[in-house]
A and B are shown apart, each in its own frame.
Chain A
Amino acid sequence: EAQVTQNPRYLITVTGKKLTVTCSQNMNHEYMSWYRQDPGLGLRQIYYSMNVEVTDKGDVPEGYKVSRKEKRNFPLILESPSPNQTSLYFCASSPTSDPYNEQFFGPGTRLTVL
């Protein structure tokens, strides 16, 4: 089944404890992206990647890191999480970065930072 998977789905952690949220897609997509979604706000892009070893900052990259060493994986790293990073996170992929491509979203990761 073609899909985007994220792990973990739920995570409660404490300020300053490094964490990684994994994202993997099995559709051979070139373009991958991370978003956060907060109540009353639209999806905001954190980082995106147009292909392997190519990553760029989105609208809200502060406090986050990513890597794209393989085409299928795009992990999101929070080196020192803070409470303002409590949010719902979505990973998404699309065949290419061309505008007409729909994005396929993972199921989401709900993160709480205490």
Chain B
Amino acid sequence: GQNIDQPTEMTATEGAIVQINCTYQTSGFNGLFWYQQHAGEAPTFLSYNVLDGLEEKGRFSSFLSRSKGYSYLLLKELQMKDSASYLCAVFDSNYQLIWGAGTKLIIKP
């Protein structure tokens, strides 16, 4: 079966760095997405990785290792507005997007 695993919840302090991990087992791979979803709102796109390595975009970076079936999202200089759920999703060989359950990130002052 297809499976995407993320921690259910994480807590971090304002100004700190946090890493949210995602492991996947899917039938094929055509890229991995990270989305941010604030409570009660729609998901919004953060990043897309299809090649191994680190992609940096401002305070957010996303890493991919296809051989390990592993990705992480790195958030630096955390702000209170970063409190949200972070969703990992993989495009499989059937061009279907498989979603993880999301990681709820709580930022404390």
Contacts and interface: CB of A to CB of B under 8 A. Distances in A.
A99 B50 contact: yes
Nearest to B102: A42
Interface stretch (B41-49, B63-71, B73-81): B41-49
Query: Chain B contact residues (Cβ within 8 angstroms of A): what range?
Result: 20 to 34
Given A45-B96, A97-B95, A105 B30 contact: no
Contacts, number: 46
B96 A41 contact: no
Query: Chain A contact residues (Cβ within 8 angstroms of B): what range?
Result: 10 to 19
A58 B96 contact: yes
Contacts of A43: 43, 87, 89, 99
Main secondary structure of the interface of A (DSSP, over half): loop
Contacts of A45: 96-97
A102 B95 contact: no
Contacts of B48: 100, 102
A58 B92 CA distance: 13
A103 B43 CA distance: 9
Nearest to A43: B99
A44 interface: yes
Contact of A103 (B4, B31, B41, B45): B45
Interface string A48-61: 00000000001100
29 contacts: A41-B101, A42-B4, A42-B89, A42-B100, A42-B101, A42-B102, A43-B87, A43-B99, A44-B99, A45-B96, A45-B97, A58-B96, A97-B95, A99-B31, A99-B50, A99-B91, A99-B95, A100-B48, A100-B50, A102-B33, A102-B48, A103-B45, A103-B97, A105-B42, A105-B44, A107-B41, A107-B42, A108-B40, A108-B41
